[in-house]
Each structure stands twice: as C-alpha cells, then as structure tokens.
Amino acid sequence: MKNLTKTENRSKTHNEKGASAPQGKVRIGSGGEPHQVAGGTHPVLTTNQGVSISDNQNSLKANASGPTLLEDFVLREKITHFDHERIPERIVHARGSAAHGYFELTESLVHATTAGILTETGERTPVFTRFSTVSGGAGSVDTPRDVRGFAVKFYTRQGNWDLVGINIPVFFIQDAIKFPDLIHALKMEPDRGYPQSATAHATFWDFISLMPESMSAVMWIMSDRTLPRSLRMMEGFGVHSYRLVNAAGKSTFVKFHWLPKLGLQSTVWDETMKLAGADPDFHRRDLFEAIREGSFPEWEFAVQLFTQEQADKFPFDHLDPTKLIPEELVPLKVIGRMVLDRWPDNFFAETEQVAYCPANVVPGIDFSNDPLLQGRLFSYLDTQLSRLGTPNFNQIPINAPKCPFANLQRDGKMQSMQPRGRVGYEPNSLSEDSPRETRSGGFRSVAATETGEKGRIRAESFADHYSQARQFYRSQTGYEQAHIVSALVFELSKVDHLHVREAMVAHLRHIEEDLAKRVAHGLALESLPDAPPTAMPVQDLAPSPALQIIGKMKNTLEGRTIGILIADGSDGVVISKVRKAAVEEGARVMIVATKIGGAKLADSSILKADGQLAGTPSIVFDAIVLILSDDAAKALTRDTAAIDFVHDAYGHLKAIGVAQGGRRLLLAANVEPDAGVVELGDLGRFISAAKTRQWTREAKIRCLV
Ligand code: HDE
C-alpha cells in the first residue's frame, strides 16, 4: 500500500511537469541527457513504451531476499536492449572518428558538370566526414602504420554524394576480385588471432610478395604518409578516376584531392609505436579538442581534370587504381574548401551508423571503368545490409538525404516512414501526388561506347607495376628514403619466412637497386635475390616533389602542441613568456608536472598542471620546454619518467627549450646539444625550431639502414 502511494506521487510529478515520454526521447541526441544534479528540469525516466519508471536501482523481487520475478518488464526490457547494443563492426575501416561540417565551393565547374555542388559557388553544403584506419578492430589504437580512410558524405540539394577516399592516391590491387584476399592477408592471422592492426606479419607480406601490382602502394605505406601526426594533417584522395558530365552530356575525367590547411605532417616510427600505449585515442582526441577549441580542421578541395585524348598520352593507364596522375602532368585546381566544425552528439548514432557508398553520386558525376571502383559500387550497399541489418538504413538520420526524397520502395525491417494512400507502384493512374521519374533533371549515365570480347581479362596497359613505385621513391628527400628503408626492414624482420623476405627484396630491385641493397643489408641477407621477370621495361618517370611530406610541411605552430615541464621553484615569468609566444603563433601549450595539482612556482604561486608527468610523456607533444629550478632538476634526474620525457623528445627529433636548471636533465638524458636544443633566452629561435623536426639530428641518433 505504501509503495503504491509512492508510485502515484511520482506519476503525479511526471504529469505536473508535463514531461511525457516522447518529449524525453526527443531530447536524446540534442545533448540534454538527464543527470543527477539538484534543480533543473529532468524528463521522467520511462520504458520504451512510455511507462514511467519508479525505481531504476532495484529489480522486482518476490521478497526482500527472494528471487527476481520474470514479470519485471522494466528489467527485461532494459537488459534485452543492452544485450543487443552492438552491431557488427565494419570488416575494414572499423576504427574511425567523424565530424560534421560544411563544404563551400569557391570556383564553379559549370563547363564540366551539372552537379550543383560543383557549380554553385558560395553555397555551404553540410558534410559528415569519417576518418578511419583500415586494418584494426573498432577498439584498436589510432596510430598504427596504416592507410587512413577519408570518407565525406555531402548532403547536396540534388541528393547525397559520398566521396569515399583514403589518404594515399593509389591502391594495392587492380581488380575488386582480389580485395577479400588482400584483407584476409592483412588482418590478424586466422589461427592465432594476432597481430591486431599491423602489416608487420607473415601473411600480409606473403600476399604482397606475390602481387607485383602492389609495389607502388607498398612505397606509400612504408613512407611516413601512413603515420599521420593528426587527422587534420593528412591529404585525402578519391583514388579512382571519376567522370564529370555537363549539360551537353559531354564527360571529363576527374581525380579528387583534399589538401590540409595545416600542411602535411607525420610522426616518426618509434614515436608512433609509443603513442599506441601513451594515448590509444591520440587522433580522435586531437580532432575532438581542435573542434572544441574552435580551431576547425580545414581542407582545400582540388580536382585534376583531363580528357580521354590527354589520358591516351599518359605513360600509364589512369583506370588502373595502382597509378596516380602526377601534379606535374595534370595540375591541381583548387575549387573549394571543407571545414569540420561540429563533433557528433552521439558516437554510435552517427559515426558508427553512417553508411558511405561510392555508388552514391548525384547527376553530373559518374563512374569510370576502373575495375576496383566497379567492384566497390556493389560492395558498400551489400555490406550495410549485414552491418545495419535492413535496407532501411538510409532512414537513419545520419544517412538520410537533407533534400526531399520520395519513391515507392516500402516495408522491410525498421521501416520508420508511413506512406499514405493505396498506390505503391509506378506508373499509376490512381494517384495525383505519387512520385514520378523526371526525364530532364534525373540521373543519367554517360553514353559511353563499349566494344570488345567479354572475358576475365586485364588490359595490357595495366602491366607496368614498378615505374610509379620508382618515381615515388626517387621523389623523396634523403630522410624520407631512409624512413622507407627502415620501415621495410622493420616489417620484413617480423616475417618468419626467409623466402618471403627475399621475394620482397627481389621486387625492390626493380624499384631502385640501392633501396634493395639497403633493405637486404638491414635484414642481413647473404646475397641479393634475383629480380623477378617484368611484363614490360621499368620506366624512369620524372620525379614529382609533390609526393614528399617534408617538402609539404608548413612552417607553422598552428595545430602543434608544446609541453612545458615544471616543478616546485620554476620561474613563472619564463613560463608566461613561452606560453605567450607559442600561443601567438597558434600553438597549444600544456603544463606537465609530477602532480596534477601543479607546482609551487618561485614566487610561491601555484600553477596547475594539464598533465601528470607519468601519464603525459613527451610523445604527445611536438616540442618540449624544461623550466626547472636546480633543485627540482636534480631531483628529477632520479625519475625515469622525466628522463624519458627528455630522451624521447630528443630521439623523436623535437625542439627542446631549456631554462634554469633544465640543462641538468639534458645531461642525465644523454642529450647532445644541437640547433634544436635552445636556451630560452633566445625564445624566437626556440619558436622557429618548434615549427619543424630536427631532421639533421637523425643521423646522430639512429643507425640508419
Ligand atoms: Fe572500401 N570498403 N573497399 N575502399 N572503404 C568499406 O564498407 C571495398 C577501397 C574505404 O568510414 C566497407 O561500409 C571493396 C578503396 C573507406 O564508413 C566495404 C574494395 C578505397 C571505407 C568496403 C574497397 C576504399 C571503406 C566496409 C575493393 C579508397 C570506410 C564497411 C573493390 C578509394 C568508410 C563499409 C567509413 C569501407 C569494400 C577498396 C575506401 C566492405 C570491395 C580503393 C574510406 O564495403
């Protein structure tokens, strides 16, 4: 009787506040989840049927120490829903982070296409962009050596356009039929279930060593392109050639590019490996924090436009996805920009449920005959059916177009639309307002002529597997070439089969003899294996400096973070000067101390820390500063976290600024002063050193292979 009164009272409150169940639902996703604070108006907690819940802490029992009753529908509904909270993760690109933003066209391509998104300048089109790693599971780390997915959904006025790209311009294989094998070789090995998120294992290199067409992509993945410093500092590529189609039905080929406003930047390999432990969410956190702080990630959007006649003169086939078109051959034309300015409200509802599909194009954009693209046009819709479980996944808000849409598809699991009327077919004569096809504005495929014999064939023009790999390697700076050598040695040293290591080195001989020799030396091979036969002679294509990273780094502190190590007795005036100078140049500054509560400065004031030394290694910063009293520095020489802080920053080629007793710590960490180790008296010199890596230091600290 007593309990009943209590329930009645609560129901009364519910009615008085007028917080009905549907209203409570509406608030979900708008950032207004209920929380236990005094005051405020909280929606009443209800079941999914809208029944208000009197007690969310205790299940229904037969008596105080008795069994739980099956009739407890509140408990059963809650647990059942929980049991089904997960959906299958993506077979590839499972780990990702995404953000909302907009695309703005700055230059019209009206001569080439009818697509409004590419002709209406100044208009802001909403986008949802998801970045991902390819190989690891959803719970893996952000920073393995891996290609990054770069998928953009444009919610245009003419329908959704998905540009589902990656951060390198070439792919491993030439035909979709090989994709399951590539991914099976790449993913953790089926008997042992490891390694997670790594190419450095036998099955990957076994497959690759038998796949000469992969050599160009191999050069890219062994370069620092696959170790991005931040998702904001990566280029993006549509990879395949697409077509633009104008009002006269004439088509022009196009390659799509994203160019980061912050320039390209990568980490160094040792740093990358340590990052996986120091902060598995390094990229996700960086993206979230940048958006939260208003430093909105931004990319220029560029196209390479070319005709069939131009393509006929290229020394490669542009329909082969293992090939890129050098900028020197077809220049990039910047036509717009993308800004990401809003973090999703809910990771699952948006980032997990978003369903990209390269087949989502709008009138004025069409496909090329790239055989990899052709396979992709099938695969993505198919995978969503098992991942999201119903053909109605397009009704989920993140996937639905933002322009009007109507058709006569119906029913199916999770149908959330309620069409009216008796007509569910087209054509019909019974309805005046059912959707009809439109001859004038509707999507039309390019009227391309196809001739020739049907068969499981590959074009002769796809037979050159080494020339662009050579071009990429030769286009790199000496530092970058050394990184490729080290990466190959690292990866192949994890392969426990000599014949696979040898087969890879044999391929490298076609790319560059010196590269093969250096890798063979790093693997301690007794002799250079014979190079395999090639289908055609390897060409010496002109080097393309645009393929470098170091050449494309921007001389800026924007997007970079400086960590200042302080302790009791640090000089607050110097700290303020460094902070001011760094922030003025666009950097973030974080204070690190042995305790999160901070340190008592020389003037007795307390400066709070942003990170505790043991949990905030220098790996998460782009440059470090040591502002320590003599006594504090002396004490820290006995702390391995402090020694590693300095030693790693030095080893990872970062600028180190020093004041007061900081030098003592440098000595303890075996740091040899160089141009990147700067006394803070010369603050300007430190700031300019912090804008880059100290590449010349590398030869002193690593036995480059
Ligand atoms: Fe994908 N790929 N892919 N892929 N791909 C998927 O679709 C596939 C390829 C790319 O953030 C899957 O929804 C085939 C190239 C990105 O949700 C799947 C082939 C490029 C993403 C699929 C390729 C990509 C995917 C898995 C060879 C760069 C993540 C889950 C024919 C141009 C999108 C899903 C996101 C995801 C199939 C090759 C980019 C299984 C069959 C080349 C960025 O459908």
pTM: 0.94
Q: Is the pLDDT of residue 566 over 50?
A: yes
Taking the C-alpha atoms of residue 182 and residue 184, their distance in angstroms, rounded to an integer, is 6
State the pairing for strand pair 599-600/606-607: antiparallel
**Residue 418 CA: distances (Å) to CA of 349, 410, 414:** 22, 9, 11
- Of 341, 371, 401, which marks where a domain is finished? 371
Give the closest residue to 102 by CA, choosing from 418, 337, 319, 260: 337
Looking from the CA of residue 354, the nearest atom of ligand 1 is: 17
Q: Is the beta carbon of 165 within 6 A of some atom in ligand 1?
A: yes
Taking the C-alpha atoms of residue 664 and residue 387, their distance in angstroms, rounded to an integer, is 56
Give the closest residue to 128 by CA, choosing from 396, 390, 364: 396
State the pairing for strand pair 148-156/159-166: antiparallel
In DSSP terms, which residues pair with 656 in a beta bridge?
A: 624, 677
Q: Is the beta carbon of 151 within 6 A of some atom in ligand 1?
A: yes
Average pLDDT over residues 603-617: 98
Taking the C-alpha atoms of residue 31 and residue 35, their distance in angstroms, rounded to an integer, is 11
How big is the CA angle at 619 (ends 613 and 625), to the nearest 5 degrees? 65
Taking the C-alpha atoms of residue 586 and residue 290, their distance in angstroms, rounded to an integer, is 12
Least confident of 15-24, 42-51, 440-449, 600-609: 15-24
Q: Is the pLDDT of residue 31 over 70?
A: no
Q: Is the pLDDT of residue 575 over 60?
A: yes
Q: Return all residues near 667 (Cβ < 8 A) that are at least 6 apart.
A: none
Whether the CB-CB separation of 665 and 691 falls below 8 Å is answered with no
Taking the C-alpha atoms of residue 316 and residue 465, their distance in angstroms, rounded to an integer, is 10
User: CA 650: distance to chain centroid?
Assistant: 27
User: Where does 613-654 show beta strands of DSSP type E?
Assistant: 623-628
Please, which pLDDT band fits residue 40 given cuts at 50, 70 and 90?
confident
Q: How far is the CA of 704 from the centre of ligand 1 (A)?
A: 35
At residue 702, the pLDDT reads 87
Half-sphere exposure of residue 601: CA atoms within 13 angstroms, side-chain side: 16
Q: Is the pLDDT of residue 5 over 60?
A: no
Q: How far is the CA of 380 from the centre of ligand 1 (A)?
A: 7
Q: Is the beta carbon of 255 within 6 A of some atom in ligand 1?
A: no
Residue 351 lies in a domain: yes
At residue 486, the pLDDT reads 97
In DSSP terms, which residues pair with 156 in a beta bridge?
A: 159
At residue 704, the pLDDT reads 67
Residue 406 lies in a domain: no
Q: How far is the CA of 376 from the centre of ligand 1 (A)?
A: 7
Residue 633 lies in a domain: yes
Residue type at position 421: G
Return the percentage of the chain with pLDDT > 90, whole number: 93
- Other C-beta atoms lying within 10 Å of the C-beta of residue 550: 18
Over the Cα atoms of the chain, what is R_g? 29
Tokens encoding 157: 């006025």
- Of 351, 371, 391, which marks where a domain is finished? 371
Q: What is the pLDDT of residues 175-201, one digit of tens each?
A: 999 999 999 999 999 999 999 999 999
Q: What is the pLDDT of residues 338-374, one digit of tens each?
A: 999 999 999 999 999 999 999 999 999 999 999 999 9
At residue 441, the pLDDT reads 85
Task: Give the total number of structural domains in the chain.
Answer: 2
3-state SS assignment for residue 149 = strand
Taking the C-alpha atoms of residue 13 and residue 659, their distance in angstroms, rounded to an integer, is 63
Q: Is the beta carbon of 90 within 6 A of some atom in ligand 1?
A: yes
Q: What is the pLDDT of residues 295-329, one digit of tens each?
A: 999 999 999 999 999 999 999 999 999 999 999 99
Give the closest residue to 523 by CA, choosing from 489, 495, 500, 494: 489
At residue 41, the pLDDT reads 87
Average pLDDT over residues 266-281: 97
Residue with tokens 């690891």: 136
Q: Is the beta carbon of 374 within 6 A of some atom in ligand 1?
A: no
What's 624's domain CATH number? Answer: 3.40.50.880
Q: What is the pLDDT of residues 520-540, one digit of tens each?
A: 999 999 999 999 999 999 999
- Other C-beta atoms lying within 10 Å of the C-beta of residue 551: 13
Residue 213 lies in a domain: no
- Of 346, 371, 396, which marks where a domain is finished? 371
What's 126's domain CATH number? Answer: 2.40.180.10
At residue 3, the pLDDT reads 40
Taking the C-alpha atoms of residue 257 and residue 333, their distance in angstroms, rounded to an integer, is 9
User: Where does 320-454 show beta strands of DSSP type E?
Assistant: 333-342, 365-367
Q: Is the beta carbon of 383 within 6 A of some atom in ligand 1?
A: yes
- Other C-beta atoms lying within 10 Å of the C-beta of residue 230: 21
Whether the CB-CB separation of 271 and 341 falls below 8 Å is answered with no
Taking the C-alpha atoms of residue 653 and residue 78, their distance in angstroms, rounded to an integer, is 52
Q: Is the beta carbon of 380 within 6 A of some atom in ligand 1?
A: yes
At residue 14, the pLDDT reads 38
| Structural domain range at position 588 | 557-701
Q: How far is the CA of 140 from the centre of ligand 1 (A)?
A: 18
Tokens encoding 56: 């969310």
User: CA 455: distance to chain centroid?
Assistant: 37
Please, which pLDDT band fits residue 28 given cuts at 50, 70 and 90?
very low
At residue 24, the pLDDT reads 38
Q: Is the pLDDT of residue 10 over 70?
A: no
Q: How far is the CA of 8 from the centre of ligand 1 (A)?
A: 54
Please, which pLDDT band fits residue 36 given cuts at 50, 70 and 90?
low
Q: Is the pLDDT of residue 168 over 70?
A: yes
Q: What is the pLDDT of residues 386-444, one digit of tens each?
A: 999 999 999 999 999 999 999 999 999 999 999 999 999 999 999 999 999 998 889 99
Residue 642 lies in a domain: yes
Half-sphere exposure of residue 56: CA atoms within 13 angstroms, side-chain side: 9
Average pLDDT over residues 76-95: 97
- Measured by CA distance, the residue closest to atom 8 of ligand 1 is 376
Residue 471 lies in a domain: no
At residue 26, the pLDDT reads 38
Question: C-alpha dihedral over 436, 442, 443, 446, to 10 degrees?
Answer: 120
At residue 551, the pLDDT reads 87
**Residue 428 CA: distances (Å) to CA of 421, 423, 436:** 12, 7, 9
**For residue 683, which phi and psi values (nearest 5 degrees)?**
-60, -40
Average pLDDT over residues 124-140: 98
At residue 440, the pLDDT reads 86
DSSP state of 532: P
In DSSP terms, which residues pair with 150 in a beta bridge?
A: 131, 165
Q: How far is the CA of 17 from the centre of ligand 1 (A)?
A: 48
Average pLDDT over residues 443-454: 95
Half-sphere exposure of residue 595: CA atoms within 13 angstroms, side-chain side: 8
Residue 457 lies in a domain: no
Provide the sign of the torsion angle of the four alpha carbons 421, 427, 428, 429, taken in this order. positive
Residue 304 lies in a domain: yes
Q: Is the pLDDT of residue 267 over 60?
A: yes
Q: Is the pLDDT of residue 8 over 70?
A: no
Looking from the CA of residue 180, the nearest atom of ligand 1 is: 41
Q: Is the beta carbon of 91 within 6 A of some atom in ligand 1?
A: yes
Q: How far is the CA of 11 from the centre of ligand 1 (A)?
A: 50
Tokens encoding 695: 């590449």
Helices (H) and strands (E) in the chain, counts: 20, 18
Instruction: Give the residue, 647 or 31, on which the prediction is more confident.
Output: 647
